[in-house]
Structure 1
């Protein structure tokens, strides 16, 4: 994303890798629509974009009841996606600043500055998480890893969560191979993760989601590294659909399972994954691909965007604040209060 004070440019991730097309939005409504339509996706990136959306609402407020316009923008942005907690974390942070503003001019200046800070802090957190993860993994030779969905620069402020760890392994010459799940139905792994890694010269092998078990059975992969959209107080993790099955496979094959996410993804107000609202999207995403039918017309479809991985299957949750090893409510409270 590119911030221009009075507008926000978003790289349309729906068109990658075939086309690199930027969309310019000038108001909160356009940002909310871009989040709903998956122009921008990835929990941290959604939160950052929403923060810029609030800043745009202030920039383009009519000047009459400007406070009501900004409040409406926050409500609209909060309704764009239900599962990723980073969205609500960023909006709550912007709302706190908004309540301290006494004029529209002050709101324009302070909300823009806060959005930029959220963006910069996410990038710094990504780099810190990469260092935390490598210290925990402590690899003595190059390792092969498997990842799911896209958790790189496209999904964050510019470096990556799980993919940031993979980047750091590559930078330290400790990465042998990345296996990237294709990630149905939006194919974030093949369209986005493989695109990012190939552009940066990082060795990547793209595989069908259903091939993960066969890959792990070969004994080459040492770690599965994934991101998160929400982490609850007991260490349960909501992430892209298919993550739970990878955790089960990892436990069977004695492969480490690591979740990497900023502390803004942690929601200590929810006791467990059972409390997370899981977004379900329309069946067309499964029945078709870019208008080409893949299934009988009108067939009933189950299309959840996320699943919940129990904490008992997770070896480590890595954030910029530290690592929770074998997460449970005690370890989570010790780090996050």
Structure 2
């Protein structure tokens, strides 16, 4: 079984081999590391809907691999008669299930990008395929190669991000002279993006090169992905890490010299507006005020050229319970097994405003780091030029 992880603690957020898929339950982190078996399309869809897997890359890959598992275990099960008599029925089956997964989430664009990549491979194979098996083999091979590509692309992105930060933050590229302090928000590490991650990939690379002095990770309410998952990843790898509440950032910036803020993205509009974890926009405003580099780490697959601006993109909402309740470890438990508990933290029946993402205007962004290259705003029109990424 292949593990797609940079952590030894979890052995990978996605564990896949042909015919088998296990995915870590993000809702239980960091107190429990639990993998759940995904046996097919319905399992994968429910897993995504329950937010046991949350951010874009992981959601997209769980969708594609859930269908891969179902294909393998249905078509290659000796105890069952293959339900597909010809390649047309196989193509229709794949199309229907991929289309079903498109409805699983509305905001993350990698879900649509990766499905399009897989579908393109199926259509290409259909031109030369002799039967249903040819179609299914093409699907499985492309899904598996995409999984490897994502890991490699995230690594390239991390190198690009490190170079940009060193070029813009350090006067002397020597660990004896200067190191950087960075802030990150949300979780864009291995549990969201695979491999080293995107935003956390850059931080990992800075630490590996000994240019990182300190990482401040936000709590990231209401899901607490920062305090639960990002901190878990950083602490597990002994990367310098300090947790800060979202509401304490202005105080932090006024007292501490921060070199860069590094965030991820779920979707980027054609004008450069960034849709990311709720709270990213206010962080960008603070970066502008305190003159801090605001860097978006995003694979090219999140760039949505069909949406002119962020206003054209549907923003998902949290359940109100994510704001009014909180789950954590019971601190009175001194010995295993440690238990968890959900408690209410708000006045009953209060109305809640709870968007899952916000839109950061492009003019607040210093650079967008992709797996292909670093993008900055054009000097003439103050816009990001994404066309060169897709030539």
TM-score range, shorter chain: over 0.9
Distance 2:113 2:388 in 1: 20
CA displacement 1:105-142 (0-9 Å, x = unmatched): 22332212111111111111111111111222223321
Question: 2:121: which partner in 1?
Answer: 97
The match for 2:37 among 6, 24, 45 is 24
Which position in structure 2 is the counterpart of 1:129? 157
For the residues of structure 2 that align with 1:336 and 1:189, how far apart are their CA atoms?
32
Matching residue of 1:118:
146
Equivalent pairs counted in the alignment come to 337
Deviation at 1:329, TM superposition (A): 4.0
- 2-structure distance, mates of 1:12, 1:41: 10
C-alpha contact (below 8 Å) 1:63/1:104 kept by paired residues? no
Q: Distance in 2 between matches of 1:113 and 1:215?
A: 48
Q: Which runs of 5+ in 1 are unaligned?
A: none
Runs ≥4 residues deviating over 6 A: none
Query: Which residues in structure 2 correspond to 1:231-242 (within 5 Å)?
Result: 231-242=268-279
- Which runs of 5 or more residues in structure 2 are unaligned? 1-13, 76-81, 173-177, 328-341
Partner residue in 2 for 1:63: 83
Contact 2:90 2:135 in 1 (8 A): no
TM-score normalised by length of structure 1: 0.95
Q: 1:304 to 1:147 in 2, by over 3 A?
A: same
- Partners of 2:182 and 2:323 lie apart in 1 by 28
Residue number in structure 1 paired with 2:231: 194
The equivalent position to 2:104 in structure 1, one of 77, 80, 83, is 80
What's 2:218 paired with?
Answer: 181
Does the 8 A contact of 1:183 with 1:189 survive in 2?
A: yes
Instruction: Output the TM-score relative to the length of structure 2.
Output: 0.82
Residue of structure 2 equivalent to 1:286: 323
Q: Are 2:381 and 1:332 equivalent residues in the alignment?
A: no
Residue among 62, 67, 73 paired with 1:49: 62
State which structure, 1 or 2, has the greater radius of gyration over its C-alpha atoms. Answer: 2
Corresponding residue of 1:15: 28
Task: Report if the CA contact (8 A) 1:55-1:111 is conserved.
Answer: yes
**Whole-Å separation in 2 of the counterparts to 1:24 and 1:335:** 37
Following the alignment from structure 1 to structure 2, what is the Cα–Cα distance between the partners of residues 16 and 224?
A: 24
How far 1:246 sits from its partner (Å)? Answer: 0.2
Separation of aligned partners in 2, 1:74 and 1:333: 27
Distance (Å, rounded) in 1 between the aligned partners of 2:384 and 2:320: 40
* Residue in structure 2 matched with residue 5 of structure 1 by the alignment: 18
Q: Is the 8 A contact 2:272 2:384 kept in 1?
A: no
Q: Which SS does the other structure have where 2:28 is aligned?
A: coil
